[in-house]
């Protein structure tokens, strides 16, 4: 996703003064303002107003500012100097956490810095040199850093994250240097945001080590560094100089609405990749008229054309005042405000404040007790969201009555961030916060948008919306096909996980997922372009299945709008959409497995067999991922399907919903090689051992027995509830040279009856095979229970053969090609 496009909060009339004309070299420390206590006693840092040309307290001896070079490492800085005993200072700036809120008194904002930091790197002239692009260098001992950090010094606490224990004892002094840099690859930043880098090394050139190699940045000369973006609160004196700002907490503030309007305007007017919102799009069948937020009514559009807004939110509770056959006429005349849940009321306010009139909300714009109306509106869902002028995402609200405009608190990566006193150019004392580009609080909050990230119905609403105003738990955001903007010049950590980005919206190069009425010309697509879109589909399925549904019967309907868009792009090349799987990709799409790495759904279970066929990923309640994506990456185009689809007569439950539920049972007839379950193969003559590697991931209840050949000699530990059932505990390995390693990914924790289980081969590459493990359920039909694959030992004689010429002896010897029916 792109970086923020919002403008920095620096007034056009303000220009920073020129850099200091002289560096600070070996200046002697002066007594800080106020009466100092002894040792580590506390001292109040008083605010002073000093003009630019008036002298300020010089730094202690050993501190100096040096001009920045293209190499920000401190290797060229001198190393001599002395250390000053630290004193902890209580510093009280004049912050204002939101420009629209009343300023807090100085006594309400307290943070600690030691005397050495206060008189050195955090002194007025020191800040000026740093902000003017010069490197500030000072010396300190590791014991004093630890002592001051433990007592509460913010800056020393940051330095203490470097592993001092790895420094040699020969160097009593450490050299720290601070410099501002530009962009950072791991952060989403407003333009001209300031990145603070602190380098640490011992005074004789040895390098300090960080907590973990991955957690810290290494310069070219291997000097250790850590990185923060400095940001300020709107209304704080520092806000005029520090570009990045803290998140907007008051979602009803004028600042919040101004930032939202600006982001929407910039997107529409400047983003080439973003499709312009239709100004004359036909309204959905019904919308809420928000012209007067105090008197909202249900408007029946009857072909009216106008921009409209959609709402994506979590129901989270019953909706007693949803639209029904009994109240629809009443709602057309007006809806009493106490009937409208707070989340919808907030969306009405936002719609009105943004200058738009119409809002579509499912609970009020669909007649909820009419199957006919629900069917018609569900079939139109893709059109509703792709043609919306804007989608409001109430990400932070866990239920309809919660609302999302209430003033919040700092969350996720913004919570409890370190604060430092900041001396402004006009002499005032302000405050800055430090945003860590690798803060673990971000990982704990995932995307940090809130409860909406876990709801399945909200996934297609997010993916198909071309423009989204997201009221997240951590910040106010704007997502489109060009950029991901944290409103209000807020700094954020970039999301490198593609599944997470898909949850926010498609990548900018996936604009074709939002085609409106025009379908891209795919007739001349290369195989790589097709494969890329196939991978995008797999990612969609993986992300969608990691979310939860209240009702099992909604599994296909809640994903139908996404499938409809893909179907429109693929056209006849994909064939029919059958219970979540494309007809012409059917064999490939059978190769899915449960994915325990996505743990938003705590347990995986099979949906009732009356709802969906076992061979579809949609039959699972839990995250699923495609193995074909990985196979195509490793095997390329030379891997081939080893089975044949003979018949799959699917019938829709509702012909108005071509991407919805199907009539059950749905039978899939294949012609394929079928062999006994791998762990029951007889031993090769002369062999006395087997190799079996069953990967069941985090399935603690599964254990298995391995039966080998004559007399079914027991090879592995046997722990079963009954002698005829297989359960698996953890990976067990034994040697089976002629068959190789067998991997089985079970769909659920349910027991599998050994004597009724068969392995069906679906695809192969040379001697590698992947397929389904199925169990006999009577009537000549089988249900899927697992995905399996084999990776036999390398045979040098096979290298001279073409991939399709390589034989797989154990399958041909013990198996046979036959027709098999899956349900």
pLDDT for residue 735: 38
User: Which residue segment(s) compose the domain that 374 sits in?
Assistant: 254-408+450-508
Angle at 109 (CA atoms; ends 103, 111), nearest 5 degrees: 150
Report whether pLDDT(87) > 60: no
Q: How far apart are CA 207 and CA 339, in angstroms?
A: 65
Give domain status of residue 37, yes or no: no
578-600: average pLDDT: 85
Residue 693: is its pLDDT beyond 50?
Answer: no
State the pLDDT confidence band at 677, using cuts at 50, 70 and 90.
Answer: confident
- Paired residues of 791 in beta bridges: 741
Confidence check: pLDDT of 744 > 50? yes
Is the pLDDT higher at 314 or at 723?
A: 314
Of the ranges 214-223, 315-324, 370-379, 555-564, which one carries the lowest mean pLDDT score? 214-223
CA nearest to 111, candidates 70, 152, 77, 169: 152
pLDDT over 70 (residue 79)? no
Mean pLDDT of 709-724: 34
Instruction: Provide the pLDDT confidence category of residue 162 given band limits of 50, 70 and 90.
Output: low
Tell me: do 597 and 700 sit in the same domain: no
111's tokens: 């943070």
> How far does the chain reach from its first CA to its final CA, in angstroms?
41
DSSP-derived pairing of the beta strands 668-676 and 707-708:
unpaired
Give me 482's structure tokens: 């060009």
What pLDDT shows up at residue 286? 98
**pLDDT above 60: residue 718:** no
| Cβ-proximal residues to 433 (8 Å cutoff; 6+ apart), any chain | 230, 231, 232, 233, 246, 417, 418, 419, 420
Q: What global pTM score does this model have?
A: 0.76
Give CA–CA dist 58/60, Å, rounded: 7
| 529 pLDDT tier (thresholds 50, 70, 90) | confident
Give residue 535's pLDDT. Answer: 84
104 and 211 inside one domain = yes
Cα–Cα distance for residue pair 718/704, rounded to 1 Å: 6
What's the confidence (pLDDT) of residue 24?
29
For residue 430, being part of any structural domain is answered with no
Instruction: Check residue 795 and give its pLDDT.
Output: 65
CA distance 788 to 816: 17
What pLDDT score was predicted for residue 557? 95
Name the band, by pLDDT with cuts 50, 70 and 90, for residue 678.
low
> Across-strand partners of 521?
none
Q: State the pLDDT at residue 797.
A: 66
Q: Which residue has the tokens 């893709």?
A: 382
The answer on 371 and 266 residing in a single domain is yes
Query: In the numeric block, which tokens belong to residue 272?
Result: 């080439």
User: Does 205 have pLDDT greater than 60?
Assistant: no
Dist CA 772 CA 79 (whole Å): 67
Among residues 240, 264, 299, the one where a domain terminates is 240
pLDDT at 679 over 70: no
Are 162 and 210 within 8 A, CB to CB?
yes
CA atoms of 655 and 672, how far apart (whole Å): 32
Euclidean distance between CA atoms 247 and 256, whole angstroms: 10
Instruction: Indicate if 266 and 159 belong to the same structural domain.
Output: no
Asked which of 197, 215, 240 is the last residue of a domain, the reply is 240
Residue 621's SS3 state is strand
Please check whether residue 422 lies inside any domain of the structure.
no
Looking at every residue in the chain, the average pLDDT score rounds to 73
Helix (H) or strand (E) holding 624: strand 624-626
503 and 550 within one domain = no
Average pLDDT over residues 489-509: 52
Same domain, 315 and 226: no
Domain edge (last residue) among 205, 240, 275: 240
Do 575 and 699 fall within a single domain? no
Predicted local confidence at residue 175, as pLDDT: 77
Amino acid 794: pLDDT: 63
**Residues 218 and 288 grouped into a single domain:** no
The confidence band for 186, taking pLDDT boundaries of 50, 70 and 90, is low
Measured distance CA(383)–CA(724) in Å, rounded: 52
Give the burial class of 214: count Cβ atoms within 10 A of its Cβ; 0-12 exposed, 13-18 middle, 19 or more buried: exposed
User: Could you tell me if residue 689 is inside a domain?
Assistant: yes
Q: Distance (Å, rounded) from C-alpha 705 to C-alpha 723?
A: 9
Residue 82 is assigned to a structural domain of this protein: yes
The answer to whether the bond into 665 is cis (omega within 30° of 0) is yes
Is the pLDDT confidence value at 90 over 80? Answer: no
Q: Per-residue pLDDT averaged across 488-512, rounded?
A: 53
Average confidence (pLDDT) over 582-609: 80
- Say if 546 falls within a structural domain: yes
Of 378, 475, 449, the residue nearest 4 (C-alpha): 475
- Once rounded to an integer, what is the mean pLDDT over residues 139-157? 86
Q: Which residue has the higher pLDDT, 813 or 815?
A: 815
**Strands (DSSP E) along 182-294, which ranges?**
187-188, 195-202, 217-218, 224-231, 286-289
Are 502 and 534 contained in the same domain? no
H or E segment to which residue 761 belongs = strand 757-765
Classify residue 6: in a domain, yes or no. no
Pair (235, 258) in one structural domain: no
Q: Tokens 């994915």 — which residue?
A: 595
Are 371 and 499 contained in the same domain?
yes
% of the chain at pLDDT higher than 70: 64
What single-letter DSSP state applies at residue 406? Answer: S
* 597 — pLDDT class (breaks 50, 70, 90): low
Instruction: Report how far Cα 660 is from the mean position of its chain's Cα atoms.
Output: 28
The residue assigned the tokens 């018609």 is 376
Residue 55 has a pLDDT of 38
pLDDT of 153 strictly over 70: yes
Instruction: Write out pLDDT tens, residues 640-672.
Output: 788 999 999 899 999 999 999 999 999 999 999
How would residue 327 be classed by pLDDT, with cut points 50, 70 and 90? Answer: very high
Q: How confident is the model at residue 10 (pLDDT cuts 50, 70, 90)?
A: very low
Does residue 694 surpass a pLDDT of 70?
Answer: no
Other CB atoms within 10 A of residue 211 CB: 12
Query: 163 has which bridge partners?
Result: 209
pLDDT at residue 753, rounded to an integer: 75
Identify whether 127 is part of a domain.
Answer: yes
Average confidence (pLDDT) over 112-131:
90
613 and 689 inside one domain:
no
Instruction: Quickly list DSSP for 93-158.
Output: ----SSTTSPPPPGGG--EEEEHHHHHTTTSHHHHHHHHTTEEEEEEE-HHHHHHHHHHT-HHHHH
**630 — pLDDT class (breaks 50, 70, 90):** low
CA-based nearest residue to 314, from 476, 444, 469, 459:
459
pLDDT of residue 208: 45
Give the pLDDT score at 196.
86
Lowest average pLDDT, out of 120-134, 170-184, 509-523, goes to: 509-523
| Contact partners, residue 292, CB within 8 Å, separation at least 6 | none
Is the pLDDT reported for residue 97 higher than 80? no
Query: At residue 20, does pLDDT exceed 80?
Result: no
For the stretch 342-358, pLDDT in tens is 999 999 999 999 999 99
CA distance 542 to 565: 17
Of the spans 29-33, 63-67, 144-148, which averages the highest pLDDT?
A: 144-148
The residue ranking higher by pLDDT, 5 or 400, is 400
Residue 66's contacts (CB-CB under 8 Å, 6 or more residues apart) are 23, 76, 77, 134, 135, 136, 137
Query: Are residues 540 and 562 in contact, defined by beta-carbon separation less than 8 angstroms?
Result: yes
Q: What's the total number of domains in the chain?
A: 4
How far apart, in whole angstroms, are the C-alpha atoms of residue 216 and residue 227?
8
Q: Which one is predicted more confidently, 532 or 758?
A: 758
Name the β-bridge partners of 209.
Answer: 163
Instruction: State residue 511 phi and psi, 5-degree precision.
Output: -55, -25
Q: Convert 207-229 into a string of H (helix), E (strand) and C (coil).
A: ECECCCHHHCEECCCCCEEEEEE
Using alpha carbons, select from 754, 761, 811, 813 the residue that is nearest to residue 788: 761
Q: Are 375 and 453 in contact (CB under 8 A)?
A: no
**What confidence tier does 337 reach under pLDDT thresholds 50, 70, 90?**
very high
pLDDT score of 38 more than 70: no
Instruction: Transcribe 319-376 into DSSP letters.
Output: -TTS--TTTHHHHHH-B-GGGS-HHHHHHHHHHHHTT--EEE-HHHHS-TT-HHHHHH
- Average pLDDT (5-31) is 32
Percent of the chain's residues with pLDDT above 90: 39
- Which band of pLDDT confidence, cut at 50, 70 and 90, is reported for residue 596? low
Closest CA to 755 of 720, 779, 777, 724: 724
Residue 102 has pLDDT above 50, yes or no: no
pLDDT of residue 811: 80
CA–CA dist 197, 816 (Å, integer): 66
Q: Which two tokens stand for residue 582?
A: 């494309």
How far apart, in whole angstroms, are the C-alpha atoms of residue 489 and residue 536? 31
pLDDT for residue 434 is more than 50: yes
At 302, the pLDDT band (50, 70, 90 cuts) reads: very high
């Amino acid at each position: 996703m792109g970086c923020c496009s919002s403008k920095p909060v620096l007034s056009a009339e303000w220009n920073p003064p020129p850099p200091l004309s002289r560096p600070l070299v070996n200046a002697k420390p002066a007594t800080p303002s106020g009466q100092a206590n002894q040792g580590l006693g506390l001292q109040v840092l008083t605010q002073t107003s000093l003009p630019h040309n008036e002298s300020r307290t010089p730094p202690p001896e050993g501190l100096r500012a040096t001009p920045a070079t293209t190499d920000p490492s401190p290797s060229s800085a001198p190393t001599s100097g002395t250390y000053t005993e630290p004193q902890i200072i209580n510093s009280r700036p004049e912050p204002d956490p939101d420009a629209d809120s009343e300023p807090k008194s100085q006594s309400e904002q307290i943070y600690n810095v030691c005397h050495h930091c206060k008189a050195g790197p955090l002194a007025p002239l020191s800040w000026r040199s740093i902000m003017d692009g010069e490197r500030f260098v000072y010396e300190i001992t590791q014991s004093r850093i630890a002592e001051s950090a433990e007592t509460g010094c913010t800056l020393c606490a940051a330095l203490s994250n470097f592993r001092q224990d790895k420094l040699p004892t020969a160097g009593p002094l450490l050299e720290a240097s601070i410099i501002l840099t530009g962009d950072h690859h791991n952060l989403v930043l407003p333009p001209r945001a300031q990145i603070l880098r602190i380098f640490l090394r011992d005074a004789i050139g040895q390098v300090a080590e960080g907590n973990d190699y991955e957690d810290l940045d290494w310069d070219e000369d291997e000097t250790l560094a850590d990185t923060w973006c400095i940001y300020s609160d709107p209304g704080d004196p520092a806000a005029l100089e520090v570009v990045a700002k803290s998140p907007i907490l008051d979602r009803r503030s004028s600042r919040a609405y101004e930032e939202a309007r600006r982001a929407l305007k910039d997107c529409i007017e400047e983003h080439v990749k973003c499709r312009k919102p239709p100004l004359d799009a036909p309204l959905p069948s019904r919308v809420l008229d928000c012209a007067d937020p105090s008197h909202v009514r249900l408007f029946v559009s009857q072909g009216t054309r106008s921009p409209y807004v959609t709402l994506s939110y979590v129901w989270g509770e019953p909706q007693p005042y949803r639209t029904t056959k009994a109240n629809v006429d009443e709602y057309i005349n007006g809806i009493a405000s106490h009937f409208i849940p707070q989340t919808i009321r907030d969306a009405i306010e936002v719609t009105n404040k943004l200058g738009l009139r119409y809002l579509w909300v499912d609970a009020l714009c669909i007649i909820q007790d009419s199957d006919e109306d629900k069917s018609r509106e569900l079939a139109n869902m893709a059109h509703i969201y792709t043609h919306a002028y804007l989608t409001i995402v109430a990400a932070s609200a866990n239920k309809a009555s919660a609302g999302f405009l209430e003033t919040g608190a700092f969350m996720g990566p913004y919570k409890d961030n370190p604060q430092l006193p900041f001396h402004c150019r006009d002499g005032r004392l302000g405050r800055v916060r430090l945003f860590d580009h690798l803060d673990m609080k971000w990982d704990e909050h995932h995307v940090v948008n809130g409860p909406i990230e876990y709801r399945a119905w909200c996934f297609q609403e997010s993916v198909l919306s071309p423009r989204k105003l997201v009221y997240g738990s951590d910040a106010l955001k704007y997502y489109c096909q060009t950029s991901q903007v944290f409103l209000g010049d807020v700094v954020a950590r970039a999301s490198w996980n593609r599944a997470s980005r898909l949850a926010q919206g498609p990548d900018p190069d996936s604009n074709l997922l939002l085609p409106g009425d025009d379908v891209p010309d795919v007739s001349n697509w290369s195989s790589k372009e097709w494969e890329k879109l196939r991978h995008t589909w797999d990612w969609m399925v993986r992300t969608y299945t990691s979310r939860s549904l209240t009702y099992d019967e909604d599994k296909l309907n809640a994903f139908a709008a996404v499938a409809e868009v893909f179907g429109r792009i693929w056209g006849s090349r994909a064939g029919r959409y059958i219970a979540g799987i494309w007809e012409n990709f059917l064999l490939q799409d059978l190769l899915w497995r449960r994915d325990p790495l996505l743990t938003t759904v705590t347990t995986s279970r099979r949906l009732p067999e009356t709802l969906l066929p076992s061979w579809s990923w949609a039959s699972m309640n839990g995250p699923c991922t495609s193995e074909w994506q990985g196979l195509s990456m490793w095997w390329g185009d030379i891997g081939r399907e080893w089975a044949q689809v003979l018949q799959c007569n699917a019938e829709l439950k509702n012909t108005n919903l071509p991407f919805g539920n199907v009539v059950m049972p749905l039978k899939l007839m294949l012609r394929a090689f079928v062999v006994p379950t791998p762990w029951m193969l007889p031993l090769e003559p002369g062999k006395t051992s087997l190799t079996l590697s069953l990967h069941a991931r985090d399935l603690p209840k599964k254990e298995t027995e391995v039966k080998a050949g004559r007399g079914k000699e027991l090879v592995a530990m046997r722990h079963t509830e009954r002698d005829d059932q297989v359960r698996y505990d953890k990976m067990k390995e034994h040697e089976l040279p002629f068959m190789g390693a067998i991997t089985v990914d079970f769909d659920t924790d349910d027991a599998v009856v050994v004597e009724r289980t068969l392995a069906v081969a679906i695809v192969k590459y040379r001697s590698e095979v992947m397929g389904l493990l199925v169990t006999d359920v009577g009537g000549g039909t089988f249900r899927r229970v697992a995905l399996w694959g084999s990776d036999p030992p390398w045979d040098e004689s096979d290298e001279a053969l073409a991939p399709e010429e390589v034989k797989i002896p154990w399958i041909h010897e013990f198996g046979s090609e036959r027709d098999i029916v899956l349900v």
